[in-house]
Amino acid sequence: MNLTGIIAPDVGNLTELVILDLMWNNITGSIPREIGNLGKLYLLLVNGNKLTGELPPELGNLAGLNRIQIDQNNISGPIPSTFQFLKNAKHFHMNNNSLNGSIPPELGRLENLVHLLLDNNDLSGELPPELSNISTLLIIQLDNNHFNSSIPSNYSKLEKLTKLSLRNSNLTGAIPDLSAMSSLGYLDLSNNQLTGHLPSDISQTVIAIDLSYNQLDGDIPDVLYRLRALQFLSLRNNLLDGTFNGSILEHDAFVNASSVLVLDLQNNNITSFAAGALLGISNVTLRLFGNPVCNSTSVGQNLCIEYDGSILNSSFQSTTASKHVNCSSELTCNPSRNSELVYGLLQIDGQCHCAYPLNIGYRLKSPGFAIFPPYEDGFQVYLSSGLNLSEYQVNVSSFEWEPGPRLRMNLKLFPDSTTDEFTEAEVEHLYNTFSTWNIPDNDTFGPYEVLFFNKDFPYNGSSGTSSTSGLSRGAIAGIFIGAFSFAALLVAFFMILMLRHHHRLSTARRKQGRIKVDGVKSFTYDEMTKATNNFESSAEVGSGGYGKVYKGTLADGTIVAIKRAQEGSMQGTREFFNEIELLSRIHHRNLVYLIGFCDDENEQMLVYEYMENGTLRDQLNSSSKKPLDFATRIQIALGSAKGILYLHTEANPPIYHRDIKSSNILLDSKIMAKVADFGLSRLAPVAEVEGNTAGHVSTVVKGTPGYLDPEYFLTHKLTDKSDVYSFGVVLLELITGMHPISNGKNLVREANLAYEAGMMLSVVDPRMGNHAAEGLEQLFRLAISCVGDDPDSRPSMSEVVRQLDGIWSITPGRHPIVSFEMSEDRGSESNNSRDLPYKYPFVSSDIPGSALMSGTIPEVVPR
C-alpha cells in the first residue's frame, strides 16, 4: 500500500491486537513505546520501512510475542535488556539497522529463541557467553558488527545450531572446538583476525565453511577432506601451509553428478598438491592461485588463475531456474492474459496444460547453503508440503543471491490439474498461510519473508493484498479485533497513519506506463515543483553531468536533494527504471540514500536524502568553518571507503563508481561521510572519449581530471582498482587540503615527490591539528599505494578499509562516532591513546557472505 507517515501512539489503545503488520512501506518516525501496552500481540512486523529512533524498553512487556521483525530500517541505540522478558519469542530479526552497544547477556534467558539475526548493525563489546544457554537456537547471524571479542568456547553447547555466521565482526583469538555442534550446516567466520589452526573436528552435516581472510596457519586437517556433504570451503587469504591432499578427499560429488564442491585455497602457503581423482570431476572446483605450489610445472595452470569474484561459477548461477521442457502438442498459452504452461505437470505425465499462476516474491533471510540448484527440488517439495499443494504446482521461476547472503526468488504457484485457476478461497488460504508463517521452519532453508503477492488476471478482482504492496495491508492484514469499540479505534489509527500530506496522485495514476519500484517512492512532477518552489534559483545547490541539484522540502517536511536530469541526460522509461531499480537495492550507511524518483511530464528526477554539510571538498575549501581535525579526516576516509567497498562487493551486480572525488563524498549534520552519484555514471551523458576494445569492462571513459586512473584512461579497462586510484587521490586531499590539479601542479606528482624525499610534512595541511606521527605516515603510505601506476600493485578496497581501521585504532582524540554527535571539544592527544581499546569504529564494512556475489559488471537487469 506504500503507506507513509508515522505509527501513531494511539495504536497502544488496541489492546486486543494480535498481529501488527506494517512491512515494506515508507513509514517514518520511531516505534512508539505505547506498543508495549498490546499484551496480546503475537507478531510485530515493521521491517522494510524508514523507522528511526531507539527501541523502546516497553516492548519487553509483550510477553506473548512470537516474532519481532524490525530489520531493514535505521533504528539506533542499544538493544533493551527488557527483551529478556520476551519469553515466548522465537524470532529476533533486527538486522540491517544502526543498533549499537553490546548484546545484552540477559538475552540468554530467552529459552524459546530460534533465530537471532543482528547482522549489519554497529554492535560492539563482547559476544555474550550466555547465548549458549538457549538450547533452542538454530541460527546466530551477527555479521558486520564491531565486537571486541573472541568466540566463546561454550557456544559448542548449542547442539541444535545449524548456522553460525560471524563474518567481519572484529573477532580475535582461536576458533573454539565446535565438534559438539552436531547439527551445524553453515559456518562463516571470514574477515576477522582469527589465529591458530583450523578446527580438527567438525560435524559431518556441514554444507558451507568460510574461514577466509583471517590469520589461520598450519596444515589442512584430515576432517575437512571427509565432509561428504560439503558444498563450499573457502580458506583463502590465510597462512596455511603444507600439502593439499586431494587423494584422500571423500565427497558425494565423486559419485553423484548433482553434488558440487568449491574449494578456494587462494593466497596461502601451500607448497605441494596431490590430485588423486580430484581433477577428473567436473563438478569440483579447486582454486590455488597465490600459493607456492603454483610455481611448480606439475600443477595445471587452470588451478592457478586468480579469481576475485563469486565463488559460484556460471554453471551454478543461472538467473532462471525454470525447467524448459518443450510441449509436444500445438497448445499455446495466452501470455497477454497471464496464462502459462504448467511445467511441473508436463514433466510428470507429458500433458500440456495452461493455467493462471500466482506470482510471489519470496526471500530466504538466512539460508543454510551456499549453492542453490542442488537444493531447488527439495525446496519445492518443502514449500508445496507447507502450502498443502502438489509438487508440480510450485515453480521457482528465477532466483538471485542478495547481500547477506540472502536468496531472493520469484515463485509461481499453479492451480491443480483439474482447473486453470485458483478459487478465491484458495487464494486467500495461500495468502494467509504465507502471512502468518504457517509454513513450518526448515533447518536448511531458514526463515523467510514474502516481498510481494501479486494477483494478476484473473485474481485481481478478489479481496486480499494489493498486487504491489507485498504482504502488508497496512496493519489490517492479520489484525483481529474482538469488539466493535476496538474496530472504531483501529479506523481512527489508520486515518492518522495514512495521511498523504495533500499528495495529488491522480495525474500520475492516469499516466500510462508509470513505473513502480519496491522500496522507493514515486513522486509526481507537481510534487517536485512544490518542493522546490518551482525550481527557483535560490533552491539550486549544485550541478553535475546528470543535471542540476535542488534543495527541496516534501509535503511531510522532509528536506531532500532533487537531481533533475538536463536535456541529454534523459533515458527511456525502461533504462530509467533499470537504474532506479538498481539504486533502490543499494542500502549502506555510507552511501547516500535514494528516497524516490519522478518520471512524469517528460521529466526524470532522483530524490535523495539531503546532506547538511555539503561535500568534503566544501569542508576542505572553507575558511569560515571549523577545520577538520586529523581524527575527523580519518573517520571520513574510513566511512567513504566502506561505502565504496559495499559497491564493489555487496551490490548485485557490483558497481564500479568511476567518478570518486571529494565533491562526491557528502557529509551529513554529524559529519558522517556518504558516497554519492554511484549510480549516475550509468545515467550521465556519454563522454567524449569512447572505446570498443573487445573484452574490456567499460566502453565509456568517465571521470574527473586529477582523479582519473591513468590505466583506465589509456586502455578503457575499468576495474575495482580504478576506483582505488581515485580514492587514493581523495586520501591525498584529506592529508594536504590541496586540489588534485591547481596552479599547474598535480597533487599525485607532488605527493610522490614529497614521500620519496622523506618530506611528507611539507605538504601536510597544517589546519588538521594534532596527529600521531605513525598514523599520518601510515595514511600517507596507503594513499601513495592507491595511486600507484600499476593497478595490480594497488590494494583492494577491502585492504584499504582494513588499513584505515588500523590507523583509526591508534588515532589520538578519536571520537565515539557511533552516536555521530559533533562537539566543539574534539579532544586532545593522550599519552595513553595507543592503549585505548578499539571501541568506537566508524561504521561497519559490509563484506559479502561467502563471496557469493558476482565479480563481473553485467548490464543492469531488473529483478
In the block, which residue shows the cell 548485485? 652
Helical residues (DSSP H) of 279-351, grouped into ranges: 343-349
Give the Å distances, CA to CA, from 150 to 79, 166, 763. 21, 11, 41
- Around 650, how many Cα atoms within 13 Å sit in the side-chain half-sphere? 26
Among 469, 473, 328, 338, CA closest to 415: 338
Planar angle of CA 567, 568, 570, nearest 5 degrees = 80
Return the HEC string of 513-568. Answer: CCCCCCCCEEECHHHHHHHCCCCCHHHEEEECCCEEEEEEECCCCCEEEEEEECCC
Q: What is the chain's Cα-based Rg? A: 27
Asked if residue 563 belongs to a known ligand binding site, the reply is yes
In the block, which residue shows the cell 587423494? 247
Among 619, 672, 519, 470, CA closest to 49: 519
Which amino acid does the sequence have at 194? Answer: L
Spatial contact of 645 and 846, defined as CB atoms under 8 Å apart: yes
User: Is there a catalytic annotation at residue 217?
Assistant: no
DSSP code at position 784: H
What is the chain's length?
Answer: 863
**Measured between alpha carbons, how far apart are the two ends of the chain, in Å?**
20
Rounded Cα–Cα distance for residues 206 and 187 (Å): 8
Q: Which residues contact 676 (CB under 8 A, 6 or more apart)?
A: 591, 592, 608, 611, 664, 665, 666
600, 659, 723, 805: the catalytic one is 659
User: Which residues, in sequence order, are bridge partners of residue 449?
Assistant: 363
Q: Which three cell numbers stand for residue 94?
A: 533486527
- Around 555, how many Cα atoms within 13 Å sit in the side-chain half-sphere? 15
**Cβ neighbourhood burial of 248 (10 Å; 0-12, 13-18, 19+):** exposed
Rounded Cα–Cα distance for residues 727 and 737 (Å): 14
Give the Å distances, CA to CA, from 623 to 417, 452, 630, 768. 75, 51, 17, 13
Longest CA pairwise span in the chain (Å): 84
Question: Torsion angle, CA of 363/365/368/374, rounded to 10 degrees?
Answer: 10
Strand locations in 651-736 (E): 665-667, 673-675
Spatial contact of 140 and 118, defined as CB atoms under 8 Å apart: no
Rounded Cα–Cα distance for residues 426 and 417 (Å): 14
- For 185, phi then psi, to 5°, come to -120, -25
Q: Which residues contact 749 (CB under 8 A, 6 or more apart)?
A: none
Burial letters 218-234, b for 16+ CB under 10 A, else e = eebeebbbebbbbbbbb
Rounded Cα–Cα distance for residues 849 and 190 (Å): 8
Q: Which three cell numbers stand for residue 499?
A: 495521511
Among 644, 665, 777, 663, CA closest to 721: 644
Planar angle of CA 270, 265, 232, nearest 5 degrees = 145
Return the HEC string of 737-766. Answer: CCCCEECCEEHHHHHHHHHHCCCHHHCCCH
- Around 551, how many Cα atoms within 13 Å sit in the side-chain half-sphere? 12
Spatial contact of 214 and 190, defined as CB atoms under 8 Å apart: yes
Residues carrying an active site annotation = 659
Binding-site residues for ATP sit at 563
Binding-site residues sit at 563
